[in-house]
Structure 1
Amino acid sequence: MHFIIDKLSFLFICIAFSCFGQSKIEGKVLDGDSGFPIPHASITNLSDNSVVFTNAEGMFQLVKTGTYLFEKEGYTKKELNITDIRYQIIQLSILPSYLSEVIISTNQLPKTLKKVSATISIISNQDILKNNNINIASALNKTPGIFMQSGALNTNRITIRGIGSRNLFGTAKIKAYFKDIPLTTGTGETNIEDFELGSIAQIQIQKGASTLYGSGLGGSINIIPQNAYFNQSNINSQFTIGSFGLAKEMVNINHGTSKTSFRAIYSHTHSNGYRENNNYNKQTITLNSNHYFNKKSDLSFLGSYIDLKAFIPSSIDETSFINNPQSAAYTWKQSKGYEDTQRGLFGGTWNYQLNKDLKIITSIFTSFRKAYEPRPFNILAENTIALGFRFRFLGNNKLFKKPLNWTLGSELFKDNHKSGTFENLYNDFPEGTGSVKGNRLSDYKEKRQYCNIFLETNYELSKKTSLSAGVNYNKTSYNLNDRFPPSETNPDQSGTFKFKNIWSPKFGVIHQLSKHISFYTNINHGFSPISLNETLLPDGQINTQLKPETGWNFELGSRGQLLNNRLFYNVAVYRLDVKNLLVARRTNQDEYIGANAGHTQHDGIELDINYKLIDNKVLFVKVFMTYTRNNFNFKNFIDDTNDYSGNKLTGIPSNILNLGMDTKLNTYFYGTINFQHVGSMPITDNNSVFTKKYNLANFKISYTKPINKTLKLNAFFGINNLFNTNYASQVLINAQGFGGSAPRYYYPGNPRNYYTGININYIF
């Protein structure tokens, strides 16, 4: 009997150890910077060369511990010794030279760039670091189809395929997101330049309306913050100094365990500026954390706070631009005009895998902005609080035995905006006093809200051909409460404005000619919301006859890699037709009336080429070229009594060319040089005034020195505007002179300037 019991005990122990030895090791492979899951990555057991692959969500299972090699085309290889059966989070870093293989999720259905039926550009963290990490314009302007004018660090305007060029003082008609948090306000205005560049992992730009991101007429910009790293802790500190009193400090701290990671980035940037009244101070804090509970559920938090005070030199007339470009506009200098802004945004995203074919992603976010801006004509005070949520279902199914991927979701956004203006009494005080707040001139409380419902599908007709189709439904409304006592000169402007509901469809086809070459075509519809200010008439009424700008985008493109993957290219040809063109007619220094005045036709070609000349262990040399050709015209444009039909679209250069070279020697020395040509552009709707074409060159070198396994130093030096070109970095279209003064069209660009710095990275 004892013998039988001993035998049974021994058998149970063997089974238990056997079961323990066969316990599955589960985990997920992610893009190390963005946090996107990487599907179809190979995992090789180096002891027996057995291979498994991650699924569509980047998840994998291993049957035993050991040393494994994680690989995915477009990413660096990673070898890891897995010694326990805990849930594993594996992060891979992208290879910028294999962009067509990089996983993106601009369409919320993660796939490689080469399989997307839309024109999408990726600006990586490495691309941003090639510049002086102070102004994002340098990185954006290397991207075909994008043009960012930068009158100062706090004065910018971004256009995509010409959309947004008619906005006078900032970026509009382009949707932007910081991960899942909208950056575009309820009136369609967007500000991305204040974010700390060191906190950004990628910028994904979709040209043409995206059904999943509000169908903005120009397209969408999705900023992906740096993801926190798992299973490591490090601190990175950088200090930069440069021309015009530039000084920047940045500290980047990361701490990660096997399932939880946290990143905090602090920066402080100061510049005296090239021009008068150009002082700039900005502090930022960016927080990012990730928490993986199990293979089905994870949670992430994101927060950003920006405190900015920047003085405003404004635009100047042609005589000053030529003879005294460092001068500020006289009234802005006398009033010491500036903006003082605090802004923050916070959000949480929960990912839950309901089953192998269905996933739900839910995001809740809030943001605030408080601004005080003394201008020569008045002082503006604003306070905005926004709240919203975004959810979507992601599904994987079969239709006629072919894969069908789909996403269905909604986004609701509400913001409460309070604004008021006050007299600026700077002329009543001794010169040098600056702005002085006087009596209140206006007092508004505005409620703005929109709702987007979206659906997008991808259907594989065959292994080489896929169809995509989607639709976005938008409902937008404004409510204005004019709280200023009405009078003959200040009528009550309270009222409600509602858009007609807008349906924006999309259809696309992509065909893979070979493993590395694909062709695509798509048709999409987009629109631009009207700001409430544009609907207000001088008599205090709301113009309910205004229509939002709408348009159809038609494009044909190809992307791929040739010559044994040494050459990457992306080319697109498109036509964008915009109807109900919205014109801002200026009635005073700070008063505009909106009017629909016709439509425009945007024809263009975009080309992006990267070629690796040399790629070995000692030397790496890559050359690149991007080219944008714009043929944008007013197809039918009657503004009041003026007929501008057939004229060129205002504020967009005819062509932009970038040529450059990146080099790396022994992984220690790195250098980059970039040449940019910008063609002339019309400044007035009647095309009587054009800017001059100009050429810029930027240069940077760096040296990296590993001190030991945990400490690495990097020193860098750069020159912007190498040949000291005199150019207009931004223009104010259709500027008017008041009181007999000349129109102030021009924002002078910085002359030749230098910067240098050091970066210290310590791994605990």
Structure 2
Amino acid sequence: MKLPSILVLLLILWHQSHAQTTISGHVKDGANEEALIGAIVSTGVDTTVTDTKGNFHLSVRAFPITLRVNYLGYQTLTIQVRAPKEITLALEPSSLTLNDVIVTSGSFSRKTLNTPTSIQSINQEMLRRDDPFSVTSALNRTPGVYMHAGTLTTNRITIRGIGSRSLYGTNKIKAYYEDIPLTDGSGNSSIEDIDQEMISRIEITKGPNSSAYGAGLGGAIRLLAPVPSAQQTSAKTSLTMGSFDTYRWMLQGAHHDNKTTVSAVYSDLQRQGFRENSAYSRQQAGVTLKYQLTPQIYFSVLGIFTHLKAFIPSSISEDDFKNSPEKAAFTWKQAKGYEAYDKTLLGLSYHQAFGQDWSLKSTLFLKNRDAYEPRPFNILDEETFTVGTRNTLAKRWENFRFFTGMELFFDEYRWKTFENNYDENSNGSVKGDPLSNNLENRSYFNAFIEAAATLAPNLNATAGINLNFTHYTLDDQFNEPGNNISGDYAFDPVVSPKLGLTYVAGAHNTLFMNVSHGFSPPSLEETLYPDGQINPDILPESGWNYELGVRGTQRRFTYDLTTYYMQIKNLLVAQRISDDAYVGVNAGLNNHLGVDLLGNYYFVLSDRYTLNTFASVAYMNYHFDEFVNDGNDYSGNELTGVPQWIFNPGVELLSDLGFYGNISGQLVGEIPVNDENSLYAERYFILRAKAGFRHVIGPWELDLNLGTNNLTDSKYAAMLLINATGFGGSQPRYYYPGNPRNYFGGVSLKYTFR
């Protein structure tokens, strides 16, 4: 009897020694939650691929194990798993094969290769090619995009020439942080005060192709929140110092598991600046949290809190630009003009999947900006409070997808102006008597529908339509009846359709075309007559956009080539009537013809090191077709404020561990600075470089880097005030000088708890 018992025991021990445990998981894009189908998951012993839902299952004999996840277009993820459990793995894009990265094109998430629109993404690898002080250089490497940067707060982004007539900020381009609009009810957008560490990716849709994001003529810029490393809890701090007494300190905590994803960031950026009266100070705290309540339901919360004070050197004349670019404008220096504000951005989102095919997402958001700005001509005290919602519903079939939604928000904008009684003895601005007291209420409603269908094995179509209502009211709470400028303005509803086609030519090449309509509403200020009364006849800018493009990947070469034509009618022109007064008129018809080219080719130097070469080219032939303003005929002239071409070459060394670096340049053609085309800003070339060393020792990761901007020490205009007017016999102040050669260096330290 003993022998059979021993045999049974041996059989049990043998079975246990050879028993296997199944480990399951889900692989997704870290930023937009899209499942990655066909991702390769390996333990070194066994390998599988994810199914049509991004799920995988692997048999494992013993723990801990090391999982390695590969997916074309994304960085390889290596992670240690210590116990049998279901895990969620989020991948981050690589800068080598961007056509395979999943982006949110219009309403649907899909590979860039398969989108029928001109869309490009900037991932964290691409942001980190430069210093951490701004996103200007990264945006300017995107063909068709040009970001003027007079200071860290005085910026103007143009996309394919749209927005070039905005004087001091970004207009006619929609901007979002996740699903929260950063664009206010007057069409003004601000992204420059969001710290790089609060951004995991930037997705740029060029032209009016995004019915789900407003159908703006210029397009849409969407910032995606930071994504913690998969299945990790970590803390990170960094310090970067540079020329002009610049420093940035950052602290971040992050956690990621199967139910909870959270990232909290605090940053402090200080700079004295190259120019007089250009000191800058910004403190920012941000948190993003996502909680998976059930496999079908998750909540997300985000908040960004910003305190900023930035002095304003303003633009200078041509003589000062050439001889003394460090100068501030005399009156701005004497008044010590600055901009200061506290800004809050809050959002709460609910996402639910119904079965395998339906999904609902609802977002509530709140924004507040309390600002104070002493200018030489007056002091502006303003506050904007915004509340709104965005809701979308999507349905998927095998060969058809449908998406609909709406966006609604209300702005309450209170602004007062006061006399500025500064003088040579006052040591800055002095608040005087009130000059105005106004309340603007702005409502914005956007409804959209989009559908995508497979028409043939290699042919896909996307169609969409956008409906917009915008309404302004102005309540003059300062002037007595008779001088009161109160009124309201609402233009007729604008309907903007679009149609796009993609044809897949082989496994890695796609032809695409689209036709789309877009519009840009006038701001309330642009609707005012010179006497302050509202002009009910002013119309929004609108136009049709036509695109034809090809993109693809051939072995190690990735390319994206697009040609486009857009005609814009009812061009809005701001006529300056005093230091702080402009009136808007519909004055013309514009033709925008251009070509965008983006490409990269990489060389595999070893298992850990890759050399990537990249370049972008934009040819922008933009002209006034019919343009008569204030009795002057500018028909046939080049569009003001936009160069005809931009070339951005670069090369970078990438590695899993060790030395890294890059060198990139920007060559910008001549820019007309007035509508007469009688004056052009000279073309310029600037060169940037950055090198570093990254090393991991156990749970610690150390990163050291050094870099330089404007290595060639070029003199150039980083921003232009177009059509500037000189007052009192003084020269017009067109120019914001760019920084001379400057340096930066940084260190970051990360500790991973698990």
- What letter corresponds to residue 736 of structure 2 in structure 1? Y
CA shift, 1:700, in A, is: 0.8
Q: How far apart, in 2, do the equivalents of 1:41 and 1:246 lie?
A: 46
1:294–1:230: structure 2 CA closer, same or farther, 3 Å change rule?
Answer: farther
- What letter corresponds to residue 291 of structure 1 in structure 2? Y
Match of 1:616 among 599, 602, 606: 606
Match of 1:41 among 38, 42, 51: 38
Partner of 2:214: 214
Match of 1:418 among 400, 403, 414: 414
CA shift, 1:63, in A, is: 8.8
Partner of 1:496: 488
Tell me if the contact between 1:230 and 1:261 (Cα under 8 Å) persists in the aligned partners: no
Match of 2:665 among 675, 681, 700: 675
Residue ranges of structure 2 left out of the alignment (5+ in a row):
1-18
Q: How far apart, in 2, do the equivalents of 1:184 and 1:501 lie?
A: 19
Q: Secondary structure at the match of 1:699?
A: strand
Tell me if the contact between 1:36 and 1:103 (Cα under 8 Å) persists in the aligned partners: no
Q: Secondary structure at the match of 1:110?
A: strand
CA shift, 1:357, in A, is: 1.2
Tell me if the contact between 2:20 and 2:61 (Cα under 8 Å) persists in the aligned partners: no
Identity, in percent, stands at 39
Tell me if the contact between 2:263 and 2:288 (Cα under 8 Å) persists in the aligned partners: yes
Q: How far apart, in 2, do the equivalents of 1:754 and 1:47 lie?
A: 44
Partner of 1:16: none
Of the structure 1 ranges 620-629 and 41-50, higher mean CA displacement relative to structure 2 is found in 41-50
Q: How far apart, in 2, do the equivalents of 1:514 and 1:294 lie?
A: 40
Q: How far apart, in 1, do the equivalents of 2:191 and 2:78 lie?
A: 37
| Structure 1 residue 736 corresponds to structure 2 residue 725 | yes
| Structure 1 residue 505 corresponds to structure 2 residue 473 | no
CA shift, 1:350, in A, is: 1.4
Tell me if the contact between 2:27 and 2:39 (Cα under 8 Å) persists in the aligned partners: no
Which TM-score applies when normalising by structure 1? Answer: 0.93
Partner of 1:89: 88
Q: How far apart, in 2, do the equivalents of 1:70 and 1:755 lie?
A: 35
CA distances 1:67-117 after superposition (whole Å, capped 9, x unpaired): 665442222344667676755322223222121111112423211110000
CA distances 1:402-449 after superposition (whole Å, capped 9, x unpaired): x0011111111111110111000003xx53510000111111111111
Q: How far apart, in 2, do the equivalents of 1:664 and 1:35 lie?
A: 25
CA shift, 1:667, in A, is: 2.9
Tell me if the contact between 1:359 and 1:394 (Cα under 8 Å) persists in the aligned partners: yes
Match of 2:524 among 502, 525, 532: 532
| Structure 1 residue 191 corresponds to structure 2 residue 190 | yes
CA distances 1:518-564 after superposition (whole Å, capped 9, x unpaired): 110001111101111111113332100000000111011111111x2
Tell me if the contact between 1:36 and 1:105 (Cα under 8 Å) persists in the aligned partners: no
Match of 1:404 among 400, 419, 422: 400
Residue ranges of structure 1 left out of the alignment (5+ in a row):
1-20
Q: Secondary structure at the match of 1:40?
A: coil
Tell me if the contact between 1:229 and 1:262 (Cα under 8 Å) persists in the aligned partners: no
Q: How far apart, in 2, do the equivalents of 1:723 and 1:84 lie?
A: 55
- Pairs within 5 Å for 1:520-669: 520-562=512-554, 564=555, 566-617=556-607, 619-664=609-654, 667-669=657-659
Tell me if the contact between 2:105 and 2:117 (Cα under 8 Å) persists in the aligned partners: no
Match of 1:718 among 683, 687, 707: 707
- What letter corresponds to residue 482 of structure 1 in structure 2? D
Which TM-score applies when normalising by structure 2? Answer: 0.94
Q: Secondary structure at the match of 2:360?
A: strand
1:747–1:117: structure 2 CA closer, same or farther, 3 Å change rule?
Answer: same
Q: How far apart, in 1, do the equivalents of 2:494 and 2:149 lie?
A: 33
- What letter corresponds to residue 466 of structure 1 in structure 2? N
| Structure 1 residue 709 corresponds to structure 2 residue 698 | yes
Partner of 1:477: 471
CA shift, 1:60, in A, is: 5.5
| Structure 1 residue 518 corresponds to structure 2 residue 510 | yes
**How many residue pairs are counted as aligned between the two chains?**
734
1:665–1:61: structure 2 CA closer, same or farther, 3 Å change rule?
Answer: closer
Q: How far apart, in 2, do the equivalents of 1:72 and 1:196 lie?
A: 29
Tell me if the contact between 2:616 and 2:648 (Cα under 8 Å) persists in the aligned partners: yes
CA shift, 1:305, in A, is: 1.1
| Structure 1 residue 246 corresponds to structure 2 residue 246 | yes
Q: Secondary structure at the match of 2:681?
A: coil
Q: Secondary structure at the match of 1:105?
A: strand
- What letter corresponds to residue 291 of structure 2 in structure 1? H
Q: How far apart, in 1, do the equivalents of 2:43 and 2:724 lie?
A: 68
1:666–1:204: structure 2 CA closer, same or farther, 3 Å change rule?
Answer: closer
CA shift, 1:465, in A, is: 1.1
CA shift, 1:619, in A, is: 3.6
Q: How far apart, in 2, do the equivalents of 1:382 and 1:194 lie?
A: 18
**RMSD over aligned Cα, in angstroms?**
2.2
- What letter corresponds to residue 711 of structure 2 in structure 1? L
| Structure 1 residue 118 corresponds to structure 2 residue 117 | yes
| Structure 1 residue 53 corresponds to structure 2 residue 56 | no
Tell me if the contact between 1:106 and 1:222 (Cα under 8 Å) persists in the aligned partners: no
CA shift, 1:212, in A, is: 0.5
Tell me if the contact between 1:317 and 1:745 (Cα under 8 Å) persists in the aligned partners: yes
Q: How far apart, in 2, do the equivalents of 1:534 and 1:583 lie?
A: 8
Partner of 2:8: none
CA shift, 1:294, in A, is: 1.9
Tell me if the contact between 1:279 and 1:311 (Cα under 8 Å) persists in the aligned partners: yes
CA shift, 1:62, in A, is: 7.1
CA shift, 1:293, in A, is: 1.6
Tell me if the contact between 1:100 and 1:559 (Cα under 8 Å) persists in the aligned partners: yes
Tell me if the contact between 2:657 and 2:695 (Cα under 8 Å) persists in the aligned partners: no
- What letter corresponds to residue 716 of structure 2 in structure 1? Y
Q: Secondary structure at the match of 1:204?
A: strand
| Structure 1 residue 290 corresponds to structure 2 residue 290 | yes
1:438–1:644: structure 2 CA closer, same or farther, 3 Å change rule?
Answer: same
Tell me if the contact between 1:26 and 1:62 (Cα under 8 Å) persists in the aligned partners: yes
CA shift, 1:200, in A, is: 0.8
Q: How far apart, in 1, do the equivalents of 2:45 and 2:716 lie?
A: 63
Partner of 2:16: none
Match of 2:427 among 429, 433, 438: 433
Partner of 1:393: 393
Q: How far apart, in 1, do the equivalents of 2:314 and 2:285 lie?
A: 28
Q: How far apart, in 2, do the equivalents of 1:80 and 1:245 lie?
A: 40
1:483–1:698: structure 2 CA closer, same or farther, 3 Å change rule?
Answer: same
Q: How far apart, in 2, do the equivalents of 1:432 and 1:667 lie?
A: 56
Tell me if the contact between 1:239 and 1:758 (Cα under 8 Å) persists in the aligned partners: yes
Q: How far apart, in 2, do the equivalents of 1:495 and 1:54 lie?
A: 59
1:39–1:622: structure 2 CA closer, same or farther, 3 Å change rule?
Answer: closer
Tell me if the contact between 1:35 and 1:227 (Cα under 8 Å) persists in the aligned partners: no
Tell me if the contact between 2:612 and 2:654 (Cα under 8 Å) persists in the aligned partners: no
CA shift, 1:290, in A, is: 1.1
Partner of 1:4: none
CA shift, 1:623, in A, is: 1.1
Partner of 1:453: 447
Q: How far apart, in 1, do the equivalents of 2:85 and 2:382 lie?
A: 51
CA distances 1:498-519 after superposition (whole Å, capped 9, x unpaired): 1110000010000110111111
Q: How far apart, in 2, do the equivalents of 1:337 and 1:543 lie?
A: 32
- What letter corresponds to residue 745 of structure 2 in structure 1? T
Q: How far apart, in 2, do the equivalents of 1:720 and 1:146 lie?
A: 20
- What letter corresponds to residue 559 of structure 1 in structure 2? R
1:381–1:612: structure 2 CA closer, same or farther, 3 Å change rule?
Answer: same
Of the structure 1 ranges 548-557 and 69-78, higher mean CA displacement relative to structure 2 is found in 69-78
| Structure 1 residue 263 corresponds to structure 2 residue 263 | yes
1:279–1:378: structure 2 CA closer, same or farther, 3 Å change rule?
Answer: same
CA distances 1:663-704 after superposition (whole Å, capped 9, x unpaired): 246831111111211000100101111110111111111111
Q: Secondary structure at the match of 1:530?
A: coil
